[in-house]
Structure 1
Amino acid sequence: MADFTSDGFCLNDNKAGLSQMEGHSKEDIAKILTKNSEGSKFYQNKKQRHQATEQRIAQKKKILEEASPADYNDALRKTDKMLSNLEASRDLSHTIVHVDMDMFYAAVEMRDAPHLKDKPVAVGGNSMLSTSNYVARKFGVRAAQPGFLAKKLCPNLIIVPCNFPKYRAVAAIVRGVFAEYDPNYASASLDEAYLDITEHLKVRADRTEEERTLWRCDCEYWRSLDADWKPSATQETEPTSSENNQETCPECGRVAESIVTGTDAEGAVLELRTKVFRRTALTCSAGIAPNSKLAKICTDRNKPNGQYQLPPNKEAVLEFVKDLPVRKIPGIGATTEETLRALGVQTCSDIHKHRASLALVFSDLSTEYFMRVSLGIGCTTISNDEERKSISNERYALLPSPITV
């Protein structure tokens, strides 16, 4: 059985910004968090969850030890049939985009208070943090962490209280951009959304280069764009051509930067991200893939302020998921990761290797989910139906994770 003090506070460094820590090692962070949280409700809750997970792991291992060769063969046949049926349902015809605002709450606060830009900042309170900027993440500070513990990791951490009315106002502007590419986009939270741009790309193919050209100058006017932005304002203040065919900013008169975006998915997403920045002065990252699960994973590939596209073919998808750590998969959290690791599963290819064992100790629903993960198969239907207003419902509908550990 694992030692709670060493495993219970092990940092998940799959989050953007946590893989390049400077202040502490993962082991140091675990020790600091353990030492400074002992006796707190947070510590007790975490310890209880860890112990419950260890008990479930022991039960599953016992089931595997007692299983007969016939049991394993039956489980293998069942999972192979699942894989065959799932493969037959693979849909590569959609272009799904996942967009995630970079450290959204913290970024909004830093935008509105520029003196915070190079300092470690988190948003939330002493009881719990909602997010942190990349400077703070280098010290191990992250979301869903009590503020009083984050201060132990980073004594100079500045904690800004949440201001949800402001975040919702900014999110409304960002969603206005999303609607230009997919009117039926689905918001998974205030700072992320899924779009199906398949239809947009058909229309985009006929757009001229002029229609796909964006302009931006680095003067104060462009840097200070905020929630007061209106589409008509951009139309009235686009850079104008001079006699030598250079484009000049209407505010400062300097040569403005032009961006000609392509007609493909990469071009459309670059255009979308540029529009988000122009209207909010905030950056976002995006993933492009044949389904929502893969798109979300792709978003992390070039964070922050970047994008990554996974080619829509079976070979590319299987190669992409093969060596992915299971914790990278949406819907697989710390408890499931710990359970899978105890069963010899650390990557998506391990899921296929140990598929019979997984079928013996997990429900049919959970086993099918794992098989989907191993094949890189996910949801291709994006909708903003009213019944999906709940963030939890949206996450479940887009990224089903019916795992019972």
Structure 2
Amino acid sequence: MDTETKIPQRKIIHVDMDAFYASVEQLDDPSLRGKPIAVGGGETRGVVAAASYEARKFGVRSAISGYLAKKRCPELIFVRPRFDRYREISQKIRDIFHEYTDKVEPLSLDEAYLDVTYNKKGNPSATMIAQEIRQRILEVTGLTASAGISINKFIAKVASDYNKPNGQKTVNPHEVLTFLEDLPIGKFYGVGKVTTEKMYQLGIFTGADLKLKSVEYLTEHFGKAGGYYYYVVRGIHNSEVKADRIVKSVGTEHTFDENLVSEVFMLEKLEHIADELDRRLRKKKIAGKTVTLKIKYSDFTVQTRSKTLPYFISDKSLILETVKELLYQERLKDSVRLLGISLANLNNEAGEKKAVAVQLKFDF
């Protein structure tokens, strides 16, 4: 890779709403304010989608089971998710973003990247823009947001988590290398729990430790991700903010009140899931070639079975036909608590050029 390629340095903001789903519920229902709540889940079934900061103090986090969440926090209040309401507020937030720049890349309903290198306000300070945006969000929605500001998406994403909730952090160009060297390896975006443990075993505990390793060494131990780690710890990450972010896959899944023990009982459930997927595909006007069946067993292990067809499909009957084939592909290893169907290899995908470059310096 040519590390001498020059590209202009950008001014990137990552805005992340604070405990978004839970905060919306507390906003709309004053009786929930100051209390530990979990959106989704349930005392016996389901998975937590979001937790309030009051609940997080007890170790309640998104993606853990409702049973475990209640065990950690006996006073926890479960609230049904209201995605229509979350989307409504999310759209108001995005409208605020577009007051400053059209280079907005939403990652989900509650977070987005903004490129404000050249912005509609003519404000040269990305830090001040982030402050204004957070204040506007508070005024319009009554909710708080945190932000990270830096020269690229990677550092902005890491920085937005630094002073949560209701805070922000700017990593100026001259601070980038020191910031990354001091950063605990588990704080690097893209380094999960398993990779963190592997890094520890290799004596990599901070960005400074990571920086001592050659690209060959990191590639040997982490595959393609090794090259990513090598460059981001040097402040090099040139992915642009993409206003029209390409959807890579479309899917839906359901967790059941009672475990399913036979494929026969699953077919009816899969038909309902396929109905929902069909609606999403029609709305997005896309089709795909790769059908994936997701199975989560009662012991929480997950299995996926996929098949790639020689042609694009979006029709429910064709998707369901493929899913049935995948379902009977092999015997179930245990009772099933969740099923999901997704479609990938979509007809909206396009090749993306990847480049690695050294950032040019200018006033931030």
Counterpart of 2:194? 335
Q: Distance in 2 between matches of 1:357 and 1:293?
A: 22
Counterpart of 2:14? 98
Pairwise CA RMSD: 2.6
**8 Å contact kept, 1:326–1:332:** yes
Aligned residues: 252
Counterpart of 1:134? 53
Deviations 1:106-160 (Å, cap 9, x if unpaired)?
0000000111111111111132111111111111111111111011111000111
Paired amino acid for 2:227: E
Paired amino acid for 2:122: R
Q: Distance in 2 between matches of 1:391 and 1:182?
A: 28
The CA deviation at 1:280 is 0.6
Equivalent residue of 1:375, what SS?
Answer: coil
Counterpart of 2:163? 302
Deviations 1:23-49 (Å, cap 9, x if unpaired)?
xxxxxxxxxxxxxxxxxxxxxxxxxxx
Counterpart of 1:370? 229
The CA deviation at 1:184 is 2.5
Q: Distance in 2 between matches of 1:326 and 1:144?
A: 22
Counterpart of 1:278? 139
Structure 2 unaligned blocks of 5 or more: 252-343, 356-364
Q: Distance in 1 between matches of 2:245 and 2:11?
A: 23
The CA deviation at 1:283 is 0.6
Q: Distance in 2 between matches of 1:390 and 1:271?
A: 34
Equivalent residue of 1:285, what SS?
Answer: strand
Deviations 1:344-390 (Å, cap 9, x if unpaired)?
21211111223354333332x22211111221222351112262486
Give 1 or 2 for the bigger CA radius of gyration.
Answer: 1
Counterpart of 1:318? 177
Q: Distance in 2 between matches of 1:372 and 1:330?
A: 13
Deviations 1:253-272 (Å, cap 9, x if unpaired)?
xxxxxxxxxx6222211111
The CA deviation at 1:186 is 0.5
Within 5 Å, give how 1:122-161 maps onto structure 2. 122-126=38-42, 127-161=46-80
Q: Distance in 2 between matches of 1:142 and 1:338?
A: 20
Are residues 391 and 377 of structure 1, via their aligned partners in 2, closer, same or farther at CA, if it must alter by over 3 Å?
Answer: farther
Identity in percent = 40
Specify which structure has the higher proportion of strand.
2
Equivalent residue of 1:142, what SS?
Answer: coil
Deviations 1:46-65 (Å, cap 9, x if unpaired)?
xxxxxxxxxxxxxxxxxxxx
Deviations 1:302-330 (Å, cap 9, x if unpaired)?
111111111123xx111000021222111
Residue from 203, 207, 229 that aligns with 1:344: 203
Q: Distance in 1 between matches of 2:225 and 2:6?
A: 19
Instruction: Give TM-score scaled by structure 2 length.
Output: 0.64
Specify which structure has the higher proportion of helix.
1
**8 Å contact kept, 2:49–2:63:** yes
Instruction: Give TM-score scaled by structure 1 length.
Output: 0.58
**8 Å contact kept, 2:100–2:119:** yes
Q: Distance in 2 between matches of 1:159 and 1:277?
A: 25
Equivalent residue of 1:302, what SS?
Answer: coil
Counterpart of 1:166? 85
Are residues 343 and 386 of structure 1, via their aligned partners in 2, closer, same or farther at CA, if it must alter by over 3 Å?
Answer: closer
Are residues 161 and 272 of structure 1, via their aligned partners in 2, closer, same or farther at CA, if it must alter by over 3 Å?
Answer: same
Q: Distance in 1 between matches of 2:184 and 2:20?
A: 25
**8 Å contact kept, 1:120–1:156:** yes
The CA deviation at 1:174 is 0.5
**8 Å contact kept, 1:344–1:354:** no
Counterpart of 2:153? 292
The CA deviation at 1:337 is 1.3
Counterpart of 1:359? 219
The CA deviation at 1:295 is 0.2
Paired amino acid for 1:147: G
Structure 1 unaligned blocks of 5 or more: 1-81, 206-262, 401-405
Are residues 290 and 380 of structure 1, via their aligned partners in 2, closer, same or farther at CA, if it must alter by over 3 Å?
Answer: farther
**8 Å contact kept, 1:92–1:290:** no
Q: Distance in 2 between matches of 1:306 and 1:357?
A: 37
Equivalent residue of 1:200, what SS?
Answer: coil
The CA deviation at 1:300 is 1.2
1:113 is the counterpart of 2:29:
yes
